[in-house]
Amino acid sequence: MGQRLQLHEVFADILETDNVYFQPPNNLKMQYPCIVYNLDDIDAEFADNTPYALTKRYSVTIIDRNPDTLLVKKIASLPMCIFNRFFTADNLNHYVFLLHY
Per-residue pLDDT of the chain (101 residues), as tens digits, is 789 999 999 999 999 999 999 999 989 999 999 999 999 999 999 999 898 899 999 999 999 999 999 999 999 999 999 999 999 999 999 999 999 99
Concatenated DSSP letters of 69-87? -THHHHHHTSTTEEEEEEE
Q: Are 100 and 2 in contact (CB under 8 A)?
A: no
CATH T-level assignment (fold) for domain 3-100 = STM4215-like (3.30.2000)
Domain boundaries of the chain, sorted by first residue: 3-100
Alpha helices in the chain (DSSP H): 3-15, 71-76
Q: How many CB atoms lie within 10 A of CB 71?
A: 19
